[in-house]
Amino acid sequence: MTRVDEGNTLTDHDDEEIARKITISTSLAAIEWKKKKLNVLDTPGFNLFMYDTKTAMAAADAALVVVDAVGGVEVQTEKVWQFAEDFNQPRVLFINKLDRENASFDRTLEAIQEAFGRHCVPVALPIGSERDFNGIIDLVHMKAFQYEPNGSGKGKEIPIPDALAARAKELHDELIEHIAEGKDELMEEFFEKGTLAPEHMYAGLHDSIKEDKIFPVLCGSALANIGTDLLMDFVLEFAPNPTEHPALKAMVAGEEVERPITDKDHVTAYVFKTVADPFAGRLSFFKVCSGVLKNDANLVCIRSSSTERLAHLSVPQGKETLPVNELHAGDIGVVAKLKDVLTADTLCEKGDSIAFPKVETPEPSIAYAISAKSRNDEDRMGNAVNRIIEEDQGLRFYRDPQTKDFLLAGSGGQHVEIIVSRLKRRYNVEVELNAPKIPYRETIRGFADVHGRHKKQTGGHGQFGDIKIKMEPLERGQKFEFANAIFGGAVPKQFIPAIEKGLVEAAQKGYLAGFPVVDFKVTLYDGQYHDVDSSEMSFKMAARKAFKLGMEQAKATLLEPIMQVEVVAPVEYAGDLMSDLNTRRGRIQGMDTKGGTQIIRAQVPMSEMLTYQNDLTSITQGRASFSMEASHYDYVPQQQAEKIIAAARAEMTGVEDEDE
């Protein structure tokens, strides 16, 4: 019977993960193998959720980088590799899915070495290929193992096949040479004997992995359970344990210090993940960075200064937790219901003030307007979204001050859709998503000199205000400037603030299409007043009339937000992506090539990026990712501006009709 990927592994237990057959957020499991414990952090490999992978890697001591034997090195693979470099982590590579059609160990190994260098050295060689893949040669111990199709995963030792013996010997010798390069005494032994003694080879391989001089490449098929036992054996024998990891960098009283991972120190812990469980409450996943953490210990959260009791310590096992009495340095644990602890917080003993650095994640690349479907949903929406944000570092929830929309921002459309599904499933809150309104603005390109007068007679006291102003454009981003150039008391000082307020209020309401007017200067240089009829309101009304006249003269125009966009994709898609960005009125700022990856930087109007995620996925078959952030405002071309103004005025007319 052939195994089928049902998307429901121990660590992929979320309903969305099972349905989509991808890892969406990091999940953990503790594995006991040959009387030793391994903590496994199963992180997302899908590009939209790579920020969660980066966050989780702060708690890892080594990285197991899985490479698809069909797809080869992808953009995500290179991202994970860079994360591991940033965290100074040893790396082990595993070429997976060798039983698939079109899978190739040699092609994938070549791609790995091209992307990451010659120090990616094979320590395993497959026996057979595609459907005939059924065994592996261990190039370290020079042993071969054969597996039953979809069997227990325990390989049966067999002689090395004659057809592969010569290549296995060649790769074994190359491995020894790489190990010898790491140390002078090993190099001397290698030159003298042409090889290394087994005990020197094993110790040298361990040290080379620990020091990032060798990145071993293993192979197999996880779904068919071929080679997983050899992978576990290799990790236990050669990968460094937590106490061998370089000392962690931390801050104490504003100074950087190094904190070794050892039991023989005060207890410190770093919270790298938070889960908002509807039943258990907030779950905090942490790494014990030093010391031995006992059950019911009291630790201080450095950020909030709150004292937290860590009751019912557990170790994670997928969606389950297993209770423990203590955790040692380098171990991973989980505890529920800490009062004031969030992701990236440091916990330490009273009197200590050590803080481990927060992992910086990229800002969300796309935002949607979110609204509740009913009044009942509206009352609960904010609290539910904020609870989900506690566990998802890639989300932002805020209100646009100009459009008044509530915005939910994530790494892509699929990311936000998953959050909407979670809101309904976990908290019974139903919401609707819409493309956000573009926060256009208005400005002027010319100069104006105008006269604004407000005069009204109403039986008793009348209303009189008279001003003369000059309007001129400012540099982009200067917002608004008001200058009082009145001489001789033409307008009394007590009315000047009202004039400025009237101008600001008028600017907020806009002139062309109801968008705020920015980047202009008004100089008040003359006016008239009446001893009885003049008032603050009169001058405020005069200012509004003057503003309107000035906008008519000063060549009012629209501004649109321009986004700084960075696209990361395989090189072969660069031409199509640049062509697509050009059709979106984008301006290419630069390009970099790294291995088989192309990085394109461009400035693109926000209005042209609302559908970009889906189009990017279509163009690159899901192999690319992008990020964007606000850059600046720029003029809208006349043709587009006319359409925007017409649509905005039609909407305003509709709202006025409804009010009536």
Buried b (16+ CB within 10 A) or exposed e, 347-360: bbeeebebbbeebe
Domain holding 459: CATH number? 3.30.230.10
56 lies in some domain:
no
Flag whether 40 is in a domain: no
**Rounded mean pLDDT of 477-498?**
92
pLDDT of residue 659: 43
For residue 75, the enclosing domain spans 62-240
| Highest mean pLDDT pick, 162-171, 188-197, 611-620 | 162-171
**Calpha distance 134→140 (Å, rounded):** 19
Instruction: Look at 402 and 455; give whichever has higher pLDDT.
Output: 455
pTM: 0.75
Task: Give one DSSP letter per residue of 14-73, joined into a string.
Answer: SHHHHHHTS--S-EEEEEEETTEEEEEEE---SGGGHHHHHHHHTT-SSEEEEEETTTBS
**In this model, does residue 373 exceed pLDDT 70?**
yes
**Model confidence pLDDT, tens digit, residues 419-446:** 898 898 888 999 998 887 888 999 999 9
Co-location of 588 and 625 in the same domain? yes
Mean pLDDT of 234-246: 90
Predicted confidence (pLDDT) per residue in 33-50, tens digit:
998 888 899 888 777 788
Confidence of residue 656 (pLDDT cuts 50, 70, 90): very low
Residue 372 shares a structural domain with residue 349: no
121 and 196 together in one domain: yes
The answer on 191 and 114 residing in a single domain is: yes
Q: How many domains does the chain have?
A: 5
Q: Are residues 423 and 446 in the same domain?
A: no
User: Quick one: pLDDT band at residue 409, thresholds 50, 70, 90?
Assistant: confident
Closest CA to 90 of 50, 125, 133, 61: 61
pLDDT digits (tens, 9 = 90+) for 62-106: 999 999 999 888 888 888 999 999 998 999 999 999 999 999 999
Q: Examine the fold and report which residue of 240, 259, 285 is the final residue of a domain before the chain moves on.
A: 240
- The pLDDT value given to residue 13: 54
260 and 223 in one domain? no
What average pLDDT does the chain have?
89
Whether 231 and 288 share a structural domain: no
CATH number assigned to the domain comprising residue 273: 2.40.30.10
Residues 81 and 224 in one domain: yes
Q: What DSSP letter does each residue of 383-432 carry, written as one string?
A: HHHHHHHHH-TT-EEEE-TTT--EEEEESSHHHHHHHHHHHHHHH---EE
Mean pLDDT over residues 170-184, rounded? 92
Domain assignment present for residue 38? The answer is: no
Tokens (6 digits) for 568: 């990361």
502 shares a domain with 612: no
Q: List Cβ neighbours of 76 (8 Å cut-off, separation of 6 or more).
A: 45, 46, 47, 50, 625
User: Does the structure show a pLDDT above 80 at 458?
Assistant: no
| Short-list 87, 83, 173, CA closest to 122 | 173
Q: Tell whether 286 and 427 lie within a shared domain.
A: no
Q: Which pLDDT value is given to residue 11?
A: 55
Which of residues 240, 258, 278 is at a domain's end?
240
What local confidence, expressed as pLDDT, does residue 2 receive? 45
- Is residue 100 domain-shared with residue 232, that is, in the same domain? yes
Indicate whether 52 belongs to any domain. Answer: no
Report whether pLDDT(126) > 80: yes
Confidence of residue 15 (pLDDT cuts 50, 70, 90): low
User: Is position 564 within any domain?
Assistant: yes
